[in-house]
Amino acid sequence: MLILEDVIYLYDGLHMHFNFQIKQNERVAILGPSGAGKSTLLSLISGFLTADKGLIFLNNQNHTSTTIDKRPISILFQENNLFSHLTIEQNIGLGLNSSLKLTPSQKISQVEIAKKMGIENYLQRLPAQLSGGQRQRAALARCFLRSQPILLLDEPFSSLDPALRHEILQLLDEICTERQITLLMVSHNLADAARIAKRTLLIVEGKIYYDGSTHDLLTGNTPEASVLGIHPIF
C-alpha cells in the first residue's frame, strides 16, 4: 500500500500538493503535461526529494523521513542506469548487493530473473553490446531482483519501438501479478497507460487533476481528458 497525505513540495514557484492512496498490487499510470510534476512525485515517494510538509506511508509504515535505501521501493528512470563497465550479470547483481558478493541462493535468483526477462544468454556481455530493449530488460531484472513491494517507473520504455514496448509491458504485467507488486508508471504514451493500468492520476501544475478510470480518461468520457487533447466523439 502507498499513501500520500497532504504532501507539499515547493519548487521553482510551483506549489505541488499530492493526496492519494494506492492499494497493494494496484497499477496506476501517471499522466500529464511536461513540467507538471510527474517525475517529482516519484522522487518524493522514493526519497530522492524530501517533502516540505505531509506524510508518506509505504507498505503500511511511515517513510516520510526515511533514506532512499531504506524505502521498500525499486525505481527505474528513463535512462536505465546500467553501469557501462560492468557485465549484465554484475549490473543485475547490484540489486542484491552493491559489493557484488552474492550468496549461492542469490546467484540462483539472479539467473532465474534473467531467464524470466529473456536475457540469460547475455549475462557476460557489457551494456553497449546489447540492444536498447535488452538493456531495459536487464534494468528491470535488477529492480525485480530486489523483491520490493513497490515499483516506480519513469518513462523507461519511451525510446523503444512499439513492438518492443508491448513485449516488455507484457512481461512487466506478468511479474507484477505474480509477485503482487504495486506499480506506478509515468508515461507520455497513452497506449502504454491503457495497457498497464486501470487507474490513472492526471497531474497538472503539481496537483492531482484527475484520479479515476484510465479508459474513461483516454476515451474522453470525462472533461479532464481535454488536458491531454482528448475530446469525446458524439
pLDDT tens by residue, 137-174: 899 999 998 889 999 999 888 778 888 888 889 889 99
Closest to 21 (Cα-Cα) out of 144, 146, 184: 184
Q: Do 47 and 128 belong together in one domain?
A: no
Residue 75 cell numbers, joined: 525505481
Q: Residue ranges of the chain with pLDDT lower than 50? A: none
> Which CATH number does the domain housing residue 194 bear?
3.40.50.300
Q: Is the dihedral of CA 205, 28, 180, 1 positive or negative?
A: positive
pLDDT score for 217: 94
How many C-alpha atoms does 124 have within 13 Å on its Cβ side? 1
Look up the domain containing 32 and give its range.
1-72+149-234
Q: Do 180 and 222 belong together in one domain?
A: yes
pLDDT score for 80: 61
pLDDT score for 132: 84
Look at the chain and report how many structural domains it folds into: 2
CB contact burial 126-147 (16+ within 10 A = b; e otherwise) = bbeebeebbbbbbbbbbbbbee
Q: Do 62 and 102 belong together in one domain?
A: no
Q: Do 157 and 51 belong together in one domain?
A: yes
pLDDT score for 185: 96
pLDDT tens by residue, 169-186: 988 999 999 999 999 999
Helix/strand/coil for 45: helix
pLDDT score for 149: 95
Q: Do 180 and 230 belong together in one domain?
A: yes
Helix/strand/coil for 204: strand
- Say which residue the cell 535505501 belongs to: 69
Closest to 1 (Cα-Cα) out of 219, 184, 187, 232: 184
Q: Do 179 and 215 belong together in one domain?
A: yes
Helix (H) or strand (E) holding 7: strand 2-11
Q: Do 7 and 41 belong together in one domain?
A: yes
List, as own/partner pairs, every contact residues 166-170 make where C-beta atoms lie below 8 angstroms and the sequence separation is at least 24, other chains included. 166/195, 167/133, 168/133, 168/136, 168/137, 168/140, 169/195, 169/196
Residue length of the chain: 234
